[in-house]
A and B are shown apart, each in its own frame.
Chain A
Amino acid sequence: MFDQSISTLAAQLRNKDISSVELTRYFLDRITKLDPQLNSYITLSEDVALKQAAHADTQIQNGNASLLTGIPIAHKDLFCTAGTLTTCGSKMLNNFVPPYESTVTSRLQNAGAVMLGKTNMDEFAMGSSNENSYYGAVKNPWNLDTVPGGSSGGSAAAVAAGLAIAATGTDTGGSIRQPASFCGITGLKPTYGRVSRFGMIAYASSLDQAGPMAKSAEDCAHLMQAMAGFDDKDSTSSETPNDDYLSNLNAPLSGLKIGLPKEYFGEGLDAGVADVIMAAVKEFENLGAEVKEISLPNLNLSIPSYYVIAPSEASSNLSRFDGVRFGHRCEDPKDLLDMYMRSRAEGFGQEVQKRIMVGTYALSEGYYDAYYLKAQKIRRLIKQDFTNALQEVDVIMGPVAPTTAFGLGSKTNDPVAMYLEDIYTLSVNLAGIPAMSIPAGFANKMPVGLQIMGNYFAEAKLLNVAHQYQQNTDWHRQTPDMAKGA
């Protein structure tokens, strides 16, 4: 049952084959039994879940149900959930129970989805391995000695292990796509501004974007129907009307123009990963797509540009965690400065402190032009690269990450190697375009994700392309052995 699609479960709920309360209990049981191996949840919200499930059952009884009504999902622990602990993976917020609800979780709740709990993540969404969590590392369900990717590692692991039907994630530099790739699930990072950021604890405001993580493109589309759309509480949210993400899923792909950026297939790309990607591209050709090589010449500049812009914004966004009004405050501060310094030194983990310092430095007088302004110029070049390429092709494909999931602890002492993990994903955030990761096969016995990038607000197109692939392959239906153990 844990590997069923949303539409199948929705039909079963409507037919009264099962109730939402039963379905929810089933998942809560699975989590209790299996999650100790994974650590994918920080908080299990059993009471909330059962209450919502009971409400969903009434809705179904009354015929007021949407497709998501009664479907148990999980939320990345940076979406503020009223009355439920929201930690952002940090000690800083280990006592933070927001009195308000994020737009994303509120919309999903209004659509009837049931919240099982809050998933583990890299602290303040800073990381590519989920090893930077105050609540412990998350394990990859495909191999418990490897990382699930990050920062939405908990969401990815939970969905892959059947500990939630779907989950929310956020993607600032690849934080939905890379863990989706490592855990063999489907993830969508929408266009910047498509999904509201209200109530989502900010890492880098100009890059952060929430999106769905699920077993299939179709399930992602169901979540997008509820999540996406203008929100007057987020000034950067787009007023462009939503597409219907479901109606276009079955459009044929004949004539689809796919661009393969040569920069995505160069040095550093694992040969096994490359083979999987090329096989997937071949499959698309079989479905009638045309493939051509393109160039995104400034790809190599995306890492330095990102690692200036994101920490700069983070250094400012995280200033509010000062021990004054909420979150961690040190014991017995001797004065104001002492309170600031100790509260923040104790509350933030190493990676977060590192990025705050990098960002503070980059914004400082005398360095601003050389770092921040320069990075913004590069950002415009990268955006231009995509705009140019997407005039020639409908979608761009390539790997999500240069490798499959790596061993726990294997890169923690090599930050540059860790940052290189994001080489294929960062530029999408800098440009603000949407992109997906879909399971495309295995290398080194671990899942490999294919990245599909599209034009601004082309989420429906991406979901269509992904869905057609998934109609003709079964990579997305693979289940790790540990998930079958309960």
Chain B
Amino acid sequence: MKLIVAIIQPHKLDAVKTALEGVDVHLMTVTEVLGQGRQKGFTEVYRGAKEAGGLLKKIRLDIAVNDNFVEPTITAITKGAHTGEVGDGKIFVLDLAECIRISTGERGSTAIG
């Protein structure tokens, strides 16, 4: 089991979600986050006071998958979120020690999908 964490551009969420559904990945947690990478932030100005490199709005996806879904998930996210510009985001893959479905008490691989 792996936990896939993806940081993507907010306007790419729909495309990523569609691509994930295409590879049968339906369960995900989506959060609005702030961050900066190579893209850096925008400069904001308030009554002449400048703040350079303010953090940018991003979307974070948390998706838990069984091992055989890892590559299709990565491919789908990449396909949906890719523009080729800096700021497209990153995908992190983490080992997942356990997964419990609260409603039934199921554990492990059967609880994920």
Decide if A and B are genuine partners: no
Q: A residues touching B (Cβ–Cβ < 8 Å)?
A: none
Q: B residues touching A (Cβ–Cβ < 8 Å)?
A: none
